[in-house]
Structure 1
Amino acid sequence: MTYATSDGQYWLARTMDFGFELGGNPVVIPRKYNFQSVTGRSFTTKFGFVGAGAKLQDYIVVDGVNEHGLSAATLYFSDEAHYSDQPVSGKLNLASFELVNWILGVNQSTAEVRAHLDQINVVNFALPLLKANVPLHWIIADRAGHCGVLEMQAEGIHWYDNQIGVMTNSPDFAWHRQNLGNYVQLENGGQPDRQFNGYTAKQIGPGAGALGLPGDYTSTSRFVRAAFMREYAPAVPDKVAINTVNHLLEPFDIPRGVKLQANGKFDYTQYRGYMQMSNPTYYFQPYQSSDISAVHLTEALMNKSTVTDFPVPREQQVTALN
């Protein structure tokens, strides 16, 4: 979800929920870094960026923010994503899991991403880690407050302006947006008294306006819940927003063991990522710890000739106060 601060700045935050252990950490990709794609093509970044990633054939970054405040995150798009079967001459051919590298490495805003989509072709290629093609779609936001969703389906490329500011997994964004019409009764207040054949029923307690808010772990329910929480979240100054954004994401954490997949594995929230756009910084919170690590994009990091990795401790630190 995106978050707007009281002083006109913006954040993008996400949970990374997956059954396969991804093992990512914060990484900084410098300016003028040459990416080697699994397609055999390559491109050179214009801008430095920081996000969660890991090195396979080359570095794969799944979410992050660049030096101009443009941020992006990949989300799973099972049974919906459709890519080209063959490379296209004259275009930059990339695999789906490499697209964030291009989004953040060569674009400054959501408008630029949209304008440059005709320059790329996403090709069916297996992710070496999973040995399978990865169905993905993307939420993209910039420091001016613009947010979009990029989806590639059988009928072509879709770009949606995302005023709602949230995104989850399948179905497609247009379906999620329309589904909000089933929840127009939700509010953060109470409910009026009701008459039942002369008996007056009163709400049992505060919060009755949210009765019917779905609380399960399906992507459809999480979309509604995120839209509701984002709508009523208090706006705080940018310099202290990490605390508010952290609390907004807490209800979407999936603990190990509660979401079983058909293959017998459990989806769980491997980490939360928070992207501050005004002062490009990436915050990383692993499942194993409530501690949050931060990596700020500095000129020194962006001008290095190599990628900088920041391994994050996975142990919970507890401070005794007595």
Structure 2
Amino acid sequence: MTYQTSDGHYWLARTMDFAFELGGEPVVLPRHYTFQSVTGSQFTTRYGFVGAGAKLQDYILVDGVNETGLSAAALYFSGQAQYTDTPAADKLNLASFELLNWLLGLHQNNADVAADLDQINVVNFELPLLHANVPLHWIITDQAGHCNVLEIRADGLHWLNDPVGVMTNSPNFEWHQQNLGNYVQLQNGSQPERQFHDYTAQEIGPGSGALGLPGDYTSTSRFVRAAYTRQFAPRMSDQAAINTVNHLLEPFDIAKNLKLQTNGNSDYTQYRGYMQLSQPTYYFQPYENSTLSAVQLTEALLTKDTATVLPVPRQQDVHQLN
């Protein structure tokens, strides 16, 4: 979800929920980094960026923010993502899991991305880590608060305005947006008392305005819950926002063994990522350690010759009070 601060700045926050151990760590890719695609194509970044990822053939990132304040996150789009089978000679050919590097490495804002979409061709390629093609769609936002969803389906590429500021996994964005019509009664206050013949019913306790808010782990329910959460979130200053977005994302954490796939593997929240756009900074919070680790894009990191991987402690620190 995106978050707007009281001083008009923006954040993007996400949970990374997966059963397979991805081993993601904060990674900084500098300016003028030449990225080698599994398709045989390559491109050189204009802008440095930081996000969570790992090195396979090259560095693969699934979310992040660049030095201009453009931010993006990849989410699962199973059953609906559809890419081409063959590279195109007149386009930059990329696998789905490489697209985020292109988004953040070559663009300043959402308008830049929209103008360049006809230059790319997303090709079916297996991610070596998973030995499978990865169905993805992307939420993208910039410092001006523009928010879009990028989806590649059987009928082509879709660049969608996202006025909700939220995205989850499948189905497509238009379905999620229309589904909000089933929850227009939700509010953060109380429902009025209700007359049932000769009996006047009153709420048992505060919070009745949110009765019916779905609490399960499906992507459709999480979209509704995120839209509600974002709508009523308090507006804090940019400097104080990290505490607020941390609390906003807490209800979306999936603990191990609470969401099992059909093969018995457990989807769980491997990390939470928080991206500050105004002072490009990436905050990383792994499952094993609730402490936040921050990486700010400095000139020293942006002008390095190589990528920088910043491992995060996985052991929970407990401070003893005496």
Instruction: Tell me the TM-score normalised to structure 1 length.
Output: 1.00
Q: CA deviation at 1:263?
A: 1.6
User: Corresponding residue for 2:201?
Assistant: 201
Q: Aligned partner of 2:297: which letter?
A: L
In 1: Cα distance, 2:201 partner to 2:301 partner: 62
Which residue of structure 1 aligns with residue 276 of structure 2?
A: 276
Q: What is the match of residue 224 of structure 2?
A: 224
Q: Please name the residue that 2:117 is paired with.
A: 117
Match of 2:50 in 1: 50
Superposition deviation, residue 152 in structure 1:
0.3
Equivalent residue for 1:252? 252
Gaps of 5+ in 1: none
Deviation per CA, 1:147-185: give whole Å up to 9, x if none.
000000000101111110000000000000000000000
Residues in 1 aligned to 2:197 and 2:147: alpha-carbon distance in whole angstroms: 49
- Residue identity in the other structure for 1:58: D
Q: CA deviation at 1:315?
A: 0.3
Match runs of 1:25-36 below 5 Å: 25-36=25-36
**1:55-134 equivalent positions in 2, closer than 5 A:** 55-134=55-134
**Offset of 1:136 from its aligned partner?**
0.2
Secondary structure at the residue paired with 2:139? strand
* Cα-to-partner distance string for 1:22-54 (whole Å, 9 max, x where unaligned): 001001000000000000111000000000010
- Secondary structure of 1:64's match? strand
Tell me the residue number matched to 1:212: 212
Is residue 2:278 matched to residue 1:310? no
1:287 corresponds to 2:292: no
Instruction: Give the Cα separation in 1 of the matches to 2:143 and 2:228.
Output: 22
1:276 and 1:299 map into 2 onto residues whose CA distance is 17
Partner of 2:182: 182
Give the letter aligned to residue 46 of structure 2: K
Matching residue's letter, 1:25: E
- CA offset at residue 264 of structure 1? 1.3
Identity rate of aligned residues, in percent? Answer: 72
- 1:296 is matched by which residue type in structure 2? Q
Aligned equivalents of 2:181, 2:242: Cα separation in 1: 30
Q: 1:108, CA displacement in angstroms?
A: 0.4
Letter in 2 for 1:321: L
The DSSP-based 3-state class of the residue aligned with 1:267 is strand
Unpaired runs of 5+ residues, structure 2, are: none
Letter in 2 for 1:127: L
Measured in 1, the distance between the counterparts of 2:53 and 2:169 equals 20
Structure 1: how far apart are the matches of 2:192 and 2:35? Answer: 59
TM-superposed deviation, 1:284: 0.1
TM superposition score normalised by structure 2 = 1.00
Give the total of aligned pairs: 322
Root mean square deviation of aligned Cα = 0.4
The equivalent of 1:38 in structure 2 is: 38
Tell me by how many angstroms 1:21 deviates.
0.1
Structure 1 runs, 4 residues or longer, greater than 6 Å off: none
Q: Shift in Å at residue 129 of structure 1? A: 0.2
Distance between the aligned counterparts of 2:49 and 2:90, measured in 1?
A: 26
Distance in 2, matches of 1:155 and 1:118, equals: 15
Give the C-alpha shift of residue 272 in structure 1. Answer: 0.1
Distance in 1, Cα, partners of 2:31 & 2:191: 54
Q: Which amino acid aligns with 1:271?
A: Y
Q: Aligned partners of 1:90, 1:152: CA distance in 2, in Å?
A: 19
- Give the equivalent residue in structure 2 for 1:243: 243
Deviation (angstroms), 1:197: 1.2
